[in-house]
Structure 1
């Protein structure tokens, strides 16, 4: 393996890209690989895996990867799978779906908890999950039936009361999590309950121990593709707790409970979790005895994979792939990720009393010309090719190609052109005064930019943006911040750090295309604190009765994508491939949505992880 580039080398190369790059040319409309059937073979466990796709020009295409593991060998009884959570920071440890927010915590949760409904590859809810559903003729009332054999890890049944209780907690004014928003206010009676005008949520009725009925204010296409809340909350555990204290309780942090295929046996906070099989899992007892999850720094993940110490990871650092694409003991799975990275501009604050964004007309980044120039100044096409080898690529709109029906591949966003960026600033009155520009009123302009630490690429990439903006005369200062602190400072806790003007973030988007959870007025995740009447109108139309016509919904979201290109509360930088190396001994594993392969089916063909030859 070649030695990884040092930060200085990467920074130099990035500066070279800035100097030599040509106009961005990609629309980011890559197509996902079609899932293949899980292959079974009598080959020895040490046989070579399916080779990673070759890249003679140094660029790879995610369409060339399979998202389903090729089985090698026969399954042994039980065994322990070692899972690496790749991160340079501890996971936060809010281990309940009703309260968690970050991707690292979700990686822990996915091993021991799940939603009551599943979805297919088109992100439509199915009746194959722990609960089934029926819909009334007017599309407003859903009747859910939880299977009789769905039980919490302590043996208590998962009930309709638990599902109702989750809605009551999230709708409680003392709730301190991120979920309350348009998905919940669409439930009949929720707003009165949230305001303290009613003691119950009139639109939710428990019909029996396992049957729940929810009536929504309006029928929307999103009800079938992600806006139903599918995570119950164990009332027998949390029912007598102060709602404001649940998220910090030991029952969430140290001894969490779920109804998934594995149970939490022990936790070293932020570092590791040991899971044991749940023999009572409703789909059937897992084939594995244990799963050991531990945080693996990006700098050591390759060594751990080569040694066979970890069997798979949540997501492999793309920048390390070319040097390690031929590892003999792993097979790389790939899929288009439901995610994008972006540059966000702080345009206001969160009103904690009203629980809505409060745009500030005097915000430093409030001039759209300034935001447009900063987008024009960066060449994300070159970044994706040079530093992510084609496995991240130029992003253009805020609906990623993971949702191909609604991603507008005809919209090319804002084109890289630094001379045009300078003119944009000149025309808006941001004049050069020496090396840097001033505000239109002549006062000094310094822009404070924060970005997350992470892989070897993290800081050099952030420095690339800083240098790109310097090239058009903007004085931008950079601060690198670890994951949990970063999201606190941009406002995940409802408190916006006034020293932050611009930030580089990333979103894993939901299965539903509706963007209100990220850009709605009542969304705490709306970190730029942006709102406009036109955006409100389009997002409302996107979940209207008219939007049941897919062609109409596509037109609505096409218009919304263009509005975001015009107004630029944030601009997308890169779409992402999910790349996961899986040890040859792992059987029955897949990534991506709608594969029909579940974690209780994962098995091993050897007692220990296979090391690279």
Structure 2
């Protein structure tokens, strides 16, 4: 799975977990990702001015080049995801409550037979005018399970009966797929879990359009890179690779012709965001947190604040990944003492960090479950690691970390020098001062902490070192983005590669598995299990959990009917319209 690290941006959608690795960068502006509105549990929506009218074009800004993998089965990062949100709809979407809702298809689950039957709605067409059929969804599964498939979505189809045989080349087709009619597809699963609908791949591929292209060549084909098609409200009119995608409305869109004439997806310089929004050159974008104070004062924009599905953290390297046996081994003695880890948490002024470096856009968390999740434990059930240097010092004393030689830094319980390497990523103006702030917090309680190698790491180098368990990596700062389902599988089990702390805990594994048990089809029971799991992680503290950021989207006041939620900034863009539209409907 060695690829350019941009795949980290959305990749845990790739794992069976339903997590998506939306922002493994701890840099930038504290990973401003899709979160929830100003009041927890609500979303924000622009108040429309007058009646919708047709016409006009808007520009959606993004602050990094896009790859141009404009096929859901192959895309890797948020850069392409935002384009695809305008182009392609799923059979099943994610609602404001982060639960699955029918979109292009109704679905029926037969728990006893372990089947899901999709019934595609009438009148849905691809951008080239061909009808969407059940064959298109079956084709997507066949492509993703193919031995030559080069994308990252296999984990989202491997639960289909026969997918494994297709994947390893022992079968020509997936046995668990039955195309009942043009609009009905029956999918038989090897197992049915409470989060199956959140994990199962639900984006069809245009079979008629891709047929004849070898699966191994599909990702680089013109059909994906230069002239992609979808079923969404806007279709691609022009692509300037890495810079611009011009989209025009799809007149025959199944939910009704979009109001806007078109959308331009434009790559822009993040440092210029305030000016671009003020001048009306950009109509909507996720803003850098460092410019929040400036942008919120602009008279011509409105802001949408969404609680993120991600969180930032500081991890302890507790062991290494055993690649041969595909398990984590917790064999690094340095941070095995829980009191040391807890003391380092109390020593951090997390709220000060959030205020100073992210304009306060976020919420402190005590466990790896963002506040927007329905499975989050109540604060009263978790230890609150509030900034308390004196408590940190007392815990360190109790654990035997004391300053023996009087140099101001603590030795380990054996009286030997105790130093800690800290790793974080470069890439923004806040990266260096934030890292130094963290280091100073720890030094203030007598811990001899310094930047590993004396400097921050570039993104790819940082994750290469963290993933490979480089011996010099001891404590590191990162961030995860998650999908809508709270299943921790993928990041936290003892056989999960993405478990970067290499934490191994039998009770944790058992609770994670219980969260996917037959009893867990009862959501209240499932929440109870995940609350117990959060309490365990909160006590053992393999990571110090920092905050769940708030994403802020800015939209020009001319743009109406904008609806955002914790999953996306582009809910129903076919209903967007502009007050200065050139034509009356």
Q: Closer, same or farther in 2 for the Cα pair 1:458/1:398, shift >3 Å?
A: same
Q: How does 1:138-217 map to 2 (within 5 A)?
A: 138=112, 140-172=114-146, 175-181=149-155, 184-217=157-190
Contact 2:418 2:448 in 1 (8 A): no
C-alpha deviation, 1:368, in angstroms: 4.8
Aligned equivalents of 2:470 and 2:177: distance in 1? 38
1:375 aligns with 2:348: no
Picking from 274, 293, 311, the partner of 1:340 is: 311
TM-score between both structures, scaled by the size of structure 2: 0.80
Aligned position for 2:93:
118
Aligned equivalents of 2:460 and 2:129: distance in 1? 34
Aligned equivalents of 2:333 and 2:90: distance in 1? 40
C-alpha deviation, 1:360, in angstroms: 5.2
Aligned position for 1:48:
none
1:545 aligns with 2:518: yes
C-alpha deviation, 1:83, in angstroms: 1.0
Aligned position for 1:417:
388
Contact 1:452 1:458 in 2 (8 A): yes
Q: Closer, same or farther in 2 for the Cα pair 1:108/1:436, shift >3 Å?
A: farther
Alpha-carbon displacement from aligned partner over 1:511-562 (angstroms, at most 9, x marks no partner): 1122224334665654445454322211111121111223321210011112
Q: Closer, same or farther in 2 for the Cα pair 1:261/1:294, shift >3 Å?
A: same
Aligned position for 1:322:
293
Aligned position for 2:75:
100
Q: Closer, same or farther in 2 for the Cα pair 1:532/1:167, shift >3 Å?
A: farther
Contact 2:317 2:332 in 1 (8 A): no
Aligned equivalents of 2:499 and 2:146: distance in 1? 21
Q: How many residues align?
A: 540
Aligned position for 2:273:
301
C-alpha deviation, 1:351, in angstroms: 6.6
Contact 1:84 1:293 in 2 (8 A): yes
Alpha-carbon displacement from aligned partner over 1:423-481 (angstroms, at most 9, x marks no partner): 54555566657465667774774424022524x43432233223223334132316445
Q: Closer, same or farther in 2 for the Cα pair 1:459/1:159, shift >3 Å?
A: farther
Aligned position for 1:23:
none
**Gap runs ≥5 in structure 1:** 1-30, 34-60, 609-613
Aligned position for 2:29:
none
Aligned equivalents of 1:236 and 1:350: distance in 2? 43
Q: Closer, same or farther in 2 for the Cα pair 1:175/1:64, shift >3 Å?
A: closer
Aligned equivalents of 1:280 and 1:130: distance in 2? 14
Q: Closer, same or farther in 2 for the Cα pair 1:408/1:147, shift >3 Å?
A: same
- Alignment RMSD, CA only? 3.6
TM-score between both structures, scaled by the size of structure 1: 0.77
After the TM superposition, which of the residue ranges 575-584 and 260-269 deviates more from structure 2?
A: 260-269
Contact 1:331 1:583 in 2 (8 A): yes
C-alpha deviation, 1:76, in angstroms: 4.7
Contact 1:130 1:147 in 2 (8 A): yes
Aligned equivalents of 1:364 and 1:180: distance in 2? 37
Aligned position for 1:600:
574
C-alpha deviation, 1:242, in angstroms: 5.5
Contact 1:373 1:425 in 2 (8 A): yes
Contact 2:317 2:335 in 1 (8 A): yes
Contact 2:383 2:539 in 1 (8 A): no
After the TM superposition, which of the residue ranges 234-243 and 509-518 deviates more from structure 2?
A: 234-243
C-alpha deviation, 1:131, in angstroms: 1.2
After the TM superposition, which of the residue ranges 321-330 and 194-203 deviates more from structure 2?
A: 194-203
Picking from 64, 68, 72, the partner of 2:49 is: 72
Aligned position for 2:24:
none
Aligned equivalents of 1:353 and 1:231: distance in 2? 34
